Amino acid sequence: MKKAVYKTNINCGGCIATVTPFMEKAKSVEEWSVDTNSKNKLLTVSGNNLNKTEVENLVRSAGFEIKEKKGLFSF
């Protein structure tokens, strides 16, 4: 399974509620979570056919910033 971690500005439960419908549209994402306690508000996504571009576009469409944490994308 592929996994990617992103720095975001998704910082509270309300933000998670806003981004949830967008993440549910992601065909390549099987699991996702946001660590709002982290300084970098880390979004972790995983899926067998994970498409990083799809994830980044959906999060931006929801109105949030997203930047991949280099070295944390794995297969």
pLDDT digits (tens, 9 = 90+) for 15-25: 999 999 999 99
Using an 8 Å Cβ cutoff, are 46 and 32 in contact? yes
pTM of the model: 0.89
Domains and CATH numbers, the chain: 2-68 (3.30.70.100)
Chain segment 29-67, per-residue pLDDT in tens: 999 999 999 999 999 999 999 999 999 999 999 999 999
- Residue type at 4? A
Q: Is the pLDDT of residue 75 over 50?
A: no
